[in-house]
A and B are shown apart, each in its own frame.
Chain A
Amino acid sequence: MADRAPLLEGGWQGENVDVAEVKAALVRSLRALTSHERSGSPHPPIRASLLNRIVRIAGSWDEVRSREALDELAELHPSRTITVETRPEEATGLDARVSIRCRLREGGEPLVCFEEVHLRARGELAAHLASVVAPLLIPEMPVVLWHLGTIPSGDDELVRLSDRIVVDSDAVGPAGLDAILWLMEQHCPNKIVTDIAWAGIATWRELLARLFDPTDARPYQRLVDRLAVRFIGGAPTTRPILMVGFVASSLGWVPVPGDTKDAAGSTYGFRTATGTALAELVQLPPAGLLRPGELLSVSLQAGQGEEAAYFAVALHEDGSCATLRSALPGRPERTITVPMGRPAWAASLSGELDRRRADTAYRACLEAVVRCMGGPGLKGTAAPTSSGGGTRGRGGDQGETR
């Protein structure tokens, strides 16, 4: 979004305030910023809201990270955003900051405005967040909870208040994936749970799928017996293992618990309809413009010897595009290079937010991942011990790909 339209900003902030004051400030700020006089337009600019977004902040690092993500996404999903941080150790009270931001069209006239309310709940109030958040939601609009630094527990007040939950498994690492599965299964059976890391590999999943759109490539899907995912190390990430889970669950592979791993990565075994398959995660050191955790390539091999077929998606060094290659026996190699722009991330997450039904592919992927990391995968197990990505004490960081 390098050429994003400029912003006009206005707002208010106060300490030790009550919710009524925040609501009044919201109305006042919106009026001031979008007044006819200020906009110079015969009609006030549009205040667009497609949803309410609650962002639960765990710390300052997360605030920056979510802010960046929200800015990008605001282009696609204008919303009222309520960010919430807690300071239980401080004296009870509420601090608030209201900001209204308007995208400007050419010539500087406001095109669309959306608002952000930042709340800091201190002391006892930290345990009663719904009481301050609920009155600030726009009625009749869906409520999305972004819980970015940790995986929320099922009895979280904000989870109950929300229609869908957005988590970022990258922030908790592979060991936190079973907590997400637990949340989906036990606490949010009727809510849609979206994982930013999963949305982040949407382009990769799509490109992998494209390799098999030609009808002559499809028979080889059932014959795939080798998967390699290469990625940049240096930071916690779930993307490589989610990619393995996606391939495994799509192709009907059954995980065989117990993996091998060394400094360079991990290997996972599977049973397939035609025999066995091996998935390999290969970690490479950070280099160039690519960020830690980013996928570098996904390659598949179907069969052995002269009858083998090969499929690969490989990112270019500067991350700007990827080349898709497929080589089928007796046919010319197919190659195409496609862009891998940064906006794809926001676009794919936006697509996830447009989803009105649970993502069965994500769920199947999670089950496969949890099972291949040694867990039972589904019901009938004890709850995860921690919302911070705690596992059930089976294997610890077994699935860590760092």
Chain B
Amino acid sequence: MTEGTEDLQNLFRAGTGGQRISPPCAVVIFGASGDLTSRKLVPALYDLSLAGLLPAELAVVGVARRPLRDAEFRDRLRDAAERHSRGAPLNPRTWESFASSITYFSGDLADPATYQGLKRRLEEIDTQRGTAGNRLYYLATPPSFFPVIVHRLGEAGLNVGGQPGAFARIVVEKPFGRDLASARELNRQLWEAFGEEQIFRIDHYLGKETVQNILAFRFANRLWEPVWNSEHVDHVQITVAESIGIEGRGAYYEEAGAFRDVIENHMLQLLALVAMEPPINFSADAVRDETGKVLKALRPLSPSEVGEWTVRGQYEAGWIDGRPVPAYRSEPNVSPDSTTETFAALRLFIDNWRWAGTPFYLRHGKRMPARLTEVAIQFKPAPHMPFSGHDTAALEPNLLVLRIQPDEGITLRFGAKVPGMAMRIRSVNMDFLYGSSFLTPSPEAYERLLLDCLLGDHTLFTRADAVEASWRFSMSILEGWRSTHEPPHPYPAGTWGPAPAEALLERDNRRWRRR
């Protein structure tokens, strides 16, 4: 009965264009006892199942070193889902139905026997739950485990589907290396066992609805593209500000710093979406070809430019939201004489036809006054102003702000006549809030991205060439900083960064939008 059935349509979906429902699959999570699994991955899978986007033939296999019974593992995940799922409070019946798909597999991640045992377990699951030999491996472990897991999976023959025609995919969490050499080495290790089409490098930023909406805003509207270039745009500011500190991640942060943690990946991806050319379609490669071109066109900074056009900062003690907060150097697991940056700002140029000569200013910091992510497109003034200088004293050039979080939306600033007898013109804001037109809650980034992995859609995942292009540009800055040995500029927690960050824009006769 199953021979040649792949082409048969589901008659109950005729004319609906189908549904983005995952195929049967076993999702294998390495690092199953960790925070990411309980806070993000399992709640996201549960929420996907509530939304009807997962099939009955789905299994979740948690893999970690510590011994744990299935029931204990499920109880632990239930507590986590209760706290982190959008579907909370949990309905006991839907949770039990979902939880019946979860099992735990204990083993040493470096031991080949673990993978032989896992292989047998997955074959049993194929028979019991109809997962059809499809596998999705999720590396939710510290990056140091990536190479050995990938190698052992390949060695055990788990890098291919468990049945003819079945798939095996692997999801890798950032950071994708800590410099260009290690990123290349990680890619090489991945390619030893998996093809690029099997690899999903996940940057949860790209799963955010409002980040994806940059594409909709730019390419579903005629209005913006004609002015989206250096002819009309004076400059672009991208700010990712966090009011929180390092939240107990001192050891990690000491190694990473603000640049590696956020700018090298999230912000450059955001920049690529803002600056890319229109893709020919919304297929994974068409979109990634264009974002990749932007990253490859980033002009590396010379050592002297690094000194002039980048700023590193580190927060000192201060006050946020009426509460005192400690200095970075007083955080747990942080060296008292640490020179790790918690703030970075820079000016960069994209060397292509569209953006030649237009500066992009990027800024990211911890312990800033507010949590805020936004892209501000500052347009040039009108070429000729037929009004007197006095009448337009309160007029500023057009500004378009794409707010990623919070208050997701768009603000457009334009000039309007002040009511009255005189022709006085003032800037006004037109605000659009996503929450006001679409009152439905957005899916969590991990829901969208996990579903994409299960469906094999790479559009929102970073390709190897983009990873390397990001690092190639980033290395010019990181090496510049390393060669000077200059400590970061201090700034009080609760401020928009150190004074040199202000000076960076002032040298160009500009200023940060938020300061």
Contact surface of A with B, Cβ cutoff 8 Å: 43, 45-46, 48, 50, 75-76, 78, 103, 105, 111-112, 205-210, 212-216, 218-222, 246-247, 250-252, 316, 320-321, 323-324, 326, 328-329, 331-332, 334-339, 347, 350, 360-361
Contact = CB atoms under 8 A, between A and B. Distances in A.
A356 B88 CA distance: 34
9 contacts: A209-B13, A213-B21, A247-B12, A250-B11, A252-B11, A321-B94, A323-B97, A339-B91, A361-B14
Contacts of A219: 1-2, 5, 8
A334 B57 CA distance: 7
A214 B5 CA distance: 10
Interface stretch (B190-198, B383-391, B432-440): B432-440
B1 A339 contact: no
B12 A112 contact: no
Interface of B: 1-2, 5-6, 8-16, 19, 21, 24, 49-50, 52, 55-57, 87, 91, 93-94, 96-97, 127-130, 429, 431-433, 435-440
Given A48-B437, A210-B21, 17 more contacts: A46-B432, A46-B433, A75-B439, A111-B433, A112-B437, A209-B10, A212-B11, A213-B21, A218-B8, A219-B2, A250-B12, A251-B11, A323-B97, A339-B87, A350-B440, A360-B15, A361-B16
A212 B19 CA distance: 12
A347 B16 CA distance: 16
A48 B434 CA distance: 10
B5 A76 contact: no
Contacts of B49: 336, 338
- Main secondary structure, interface of A, reads mixed
A337 B10 contact: no
B11 A215 contact: no
Contacts of B96: 337
Contacts of A215: 2, 5-6, 8
Contact of A361 (B6, B15, B50, B87): B15
Nearest to A323: B97
A48 B436 contact: yes
Nearest to B52: A338
A262 B384 CA distance: 82
Contacts of A112: 433, 435-437, 439
A361 B9 CA distance: 15
A331 B127 CA distance: 9
B10 A334 contact: no
A320 B11 contact: no
B433 A218 contact: no
A222 B438 CA distance: 40
Contacts of B129: 332
A314 to B, nearest CB: 12
B200 to A, nearest CB: 22
Contacts of B57: 214, 334
Given A111-B433, A213-B10, A218-B10, A337 B21 contact: no
A45 B436 CA distance: 9
B1 A216 contact: yes
A218 B11 CA distance: 8
Contacts of B437: 46, 48, 50, 78, 112
Contacts of A111: 433, 435-436
Residue from A105, A111, A216, A220 having most chain B Cβ neighbours under 10 A: A216
Nearest to B5: A215
Residue from B52, B55, B433, B438 having most chain A Cβ neighbours under 10 A: B52
B11 A334 contact: no
Contacts of A339: 50, 87, 91, 94
Contacts of B130: 214, 331-332, 334
Residue from A46, A76, A247, A336 having most chain B Cβ neighbours under 10 A: A336
B210 to A, nearest CB: 16
Nearest to A350: B440
Contacts of A337: 93-94, 96-97
A205 B94 contact: no
A336 B439 CA distance: 29
Given A208-B12, A209-B10, A329-B1, A316 B93 contact: yes
Given A331-B130, A335-B56, A205 B5 contact: no
Nearest to A320: B91
Contacts of B5: 215-216, 218-219
A363 to B, nearest CB: 10
Contacts of A360: 15
